[in-house]
Amino acid sequence: MRLHRNLVFAVIDSLRDIFNEDVYADKAVEKALKRDKRWGARDRKFVAETIYDVVRWKRLYAEIANVKAPYSRPDLWRLFAVWCVLKGIQLPDWNQIEPTPTRRIKGKFDELLKIRKFRESIPDWIDEVGVQELGEEVWTKEIAALNKQAEVILRTNTLNTTKAHLQKQLASEGIDTEFIKGYDDALKLVERANVFKTEAFKKGFFEVQDASSQLVAAYLDVEPGMKVVDTCAGAGGKTLHLASLMKNKGQIIAMDIYESKLKKLKVRARRNGAHNIDTRVIDSTKVIKKLQGKADRVLIDAPCSGLGVIRRNPDSKWKLQPEFLDKIRGTQQEVLQQYSKMVKSGGKMVYATCSVLPSENQQQVEFFLASDAGKDFKFVKDEKVLSHKSGFDGFYMALLERK
């Protein structure tokens, strides 16, 4: 493989932004891909995948390269040189690339593979929390699975098409997909591709949504005609799935504290042909009080550490801090206490997170059920989705019913 200077410079600049300027990796990649309109699909793939690769293995590569944050430009080139050596890519004779001790790099790599925190390239504290909550054996398997590149999974928008028709439409546009056993509306891309440029996307035939995430809306057991509240809707991935499951009948109230996210949901809803969604910004407690005891179903897709989705957000390993984890557990319980009030008698509620930690999941549910607000609810069932078992994101969901 021959390296091209303009592509590699785009990678180096992006790594500087991510590691030193705290820019989110997806935003840095988005910016990098706009640098040169002449780049073809292969060029764009190299830039995006190399950035994500170095971000994912930052700790391992930094240890081998003997560099520390904040990274100077020569440090970033050293990280890149380590990536090249470990990928078997011949280093070009450029001024930016220092003489690189290939044998020493490979020797150091073999040595570090014996230590999990380096092998899986994670901060000490995340490794400690993982072992504490999941146990040595499960955590070792789980973090290895969470470090694999996420596949691209689509969810068929059944308001506009069927899974079989979507597969044919994508095939006609040069994109091959496979069904996934046990996931009714999911299609998996055989090879990564920019699906957002397809006619199928423009026609609202699908949304990009991981297979584990597709389980959540179905877990809520909705039916057409119901009044459903999605309390932490964000840009609306699960809201749109609920609209499909409800066949556009009934009412979905999508709520979030960020108006900007709900604006994105409105755009997506128009493309999806979802007409039964109302959006409400949670700017005071009045919004919740107005719906007290009125919802047939309530979805709480709670804010969390995101440890279950680091396959697609590898930079979150470096942005996450121990104090955030403590704070978010408090927020999760607060959200459960407040939003559960909207469930009517005989109604159901799902509490879900994209975390694999019991302290954010089943322990939160147990704490809620033991509280005054939870005494009117009964536990129906829950599901713990671990990445090393499912092959997809780590998730948790619990179904509760109001007595």
Question: 86-103: per-residue pLDDT in tens?
Answer: 999 999 899 999 888 999
Q: Are strands 177-179 and 186-189 parallel, antiparallel or unpaired?
A: antiparallel
Instruction: For residue 176, say whether it is annotated as part of any ligand binding site.
Output: no
Measured CA to CA, the distance from residue 119 to residue 17 in angstroms comes to 24
Angle in degrees, 0-180, between the axes of helices 5-20 and 73-87, rounded to the nearest 10: 120
Measured CA to CA, the distance from residue 320 to residue 123 in angstroms comes to 9
Kindly tell me if the per-residue pLDDT of 258 is higher than 90: yes
358 Cβ neighbours under 8 A, 6+ residues apart: 133, 134
Span(s) in the chain for CATH 3.30.70.1170: 151-206
286-311 per-position pLDDT tens digit:
999 999 999 999 999 999 999 999 99
- What local confidence, expressed as pLDDT, does residue 216 receive? 98
Measured CA to CA, the distance from residue 219 to residue 221 in angstroms comes to 5
Kindly tell me if the per-residue pLDDT of 71 is higher than 90: yes
Answer yes or no: are the C-beta atoms of 264 and 302 closer than 8 Å.
no
Per-residue pLDDT, averaged over 371-375, amounts to 96
- What local confidence, expressed as pLDDT, does residue 333 receive? 97
- What local confidence, expressed as pLDDT, does residue 160 receive? 98
Measured CA to CA, the distance from residue 389 to residue 108 in angstroms comes to 31
Measured CA to CA, the distance from residue 376 to residue 317 in angstroms comes to 38
Q: Are strands 251-256 and 227-230 parallel, antiparallel or unpaired?
A: parallel
> Other CB atoms closer than 10 Å to residue 268's CB: what's the count?
19
- What local confidence, expressed as pLDDT, does residue 122 receive? 98
Measured CA to CA, the distance from residue 34 to residue 114 in angstroms comes to 40
How is domain 213-400 classified at the CATH fold level? Rossmann fold (3.40.50)
From 235, 209, 246, 120, select the one nearest 395 (Cα to Cα).
Answer: 209
Q: How confident is the model at residue 1 (pLDDT cuts 50, 70, 90)?
A: confident
- What local confidence, expressed as pLDDT, does residue 242 receive? 98
- What local confidence, expressed as pLDDT, does residue 353 receive? 98
Residue from 84, 232, 304, 354 carrying the catalytic annotation: 354
**What SS3 class is residue 344?**
strand
Per-residue pLDDT, averaged over 325-354, amounts to 97
Q: How confident is the model at residue 7 (pLDDT cuts 50, 70, 90)?
A: very high
Instruction: For residue 230, say whether it is annotated as part of any ligand binding site.
Output: no
**CA neighbours closer than 13 Å in the CB half-sphere of residue 212:** 27
Span(s) in the chain for CATH 3.40.50.150: 213-400
- What local confidence, expressed as pLDDT, does residue 272 receive? 97
- What local confidence, expressed as pLDDT, does residue 186 receive? 98
Answer yes or no: are the C-beta atoms of 240 and 207 closer than 8 Å.
yes
Kindly tell me if the per-residue pLDDT of 12 is higher than 90: yes
Architecture of domain 151-206: 2-Layer Sandwich (3.30)
- What local confidence, expressed as pLDDT, does residue 63 receive? 97
Per the annotation, the verdict on 354 as an active-site residue is yes
Q: Which residue has 């035939």 as its token pair?
A: 205
Q: How confident is the model at residue 244 (pLDDT cuts 50, 70, 90)?
A: very high
Answer yes or no: are the C-beta atoms of 162 and 156 closer than 8 Å.
yes
Instruction: For residue 376, say whether it is annotated as part of any ligand binding site.
Output: no
Kindly tell me if the per-residue pLDDT of 321 is higher than 90: yes
